Structure 1
């Protein structure tokens, strides 16, 4: 249902069909709306990436923040974590089929953002 606003007999505004739980947009934003989350998924779209390489790709994000986001994404089934049998041990991350479904709209956000910038907006 679509939420709507009407007026009662005294002219007060009344909301009808309001969301009693997070709507699909809110649920989606809770998954990918965290800072750096979209960037992480974007950088994993072409194949597995080792942690330190991913940290280099995402300038401005601390390793602690990247680690937190990677754990969240893994718990949500959007990425997988593989411990490599190397010395020293290293870890690489790969986007899952479910995670790949986000790439289409992340690309649209990228295009939208670039269009805003070209129009002189920050």
Structure 2
């Protein structure tokens, strides 16, 4: 990757060295910053939730989007999928210890957003 030169408001030049790999914040945002991902984690905080109940909780998200995000979270070992009924099939999702570790981050984000009335 190539270095970039920026001019600061003071008129000084600053060389910006791009990261060869994403920094820790970028990696974290890729995990919990995806659309609906944080909301899914937050809604699973108390107990296992059935898929259709989760869809109702996330009114604006499509079932396809929720299914995609749950599969991503499951592949990252943040969520456990359990089949609770075979016919018709019914599944629940619950947070793993790793998934629970993201709750403090999301709670702080919620408080920050409320405190400063941040608009998207």
Say yes or no: TM over 0.5.
yes
1:85 deviation in Å?
2.5
Q: Report what 1:68 is aligned to.
A: 68
How many matched pairs? 111
Separation in 1, partners of 2:83, 2:21: 38
Report whether the alignment pairs 1:104 with 2:110: no
1:59 deviation in Å?
1.4
Q: RMSD of aligned C-alpha atoms?
A: 2.0
Q: Report what 2:16 is aligned to.
A: 15
1:79 deviation in Å?
0.2
1:88 deviation in Å?
1.5
Question: Please, which runs of 5 or more residues in structure 1 have no aligned partner?
Answer: none
Q: What's the TM-score, normalizing by structure 1? A: 0.82
Q: Residue by residue, what CA displacement relative to the aligned partner does 1:39-73 show, whole Å, maximum 9, x if unpaired?
A: 00000010100000000001100000000000000
Separation in 1, partners of 2:88, 2:13: 67
Q: Is the partner of 1:67 in helix, strand or coil?
A: helix
Q: Report what 1:51 is aligned to.
A: 51
Q: What's the TM-score, normalizing by structure 2? A: 0.84
Question: Please, which runs of 5 or more residues in structure 2 have no aligned partner?
Answer: none
1:92 deviation in Å?
0.5
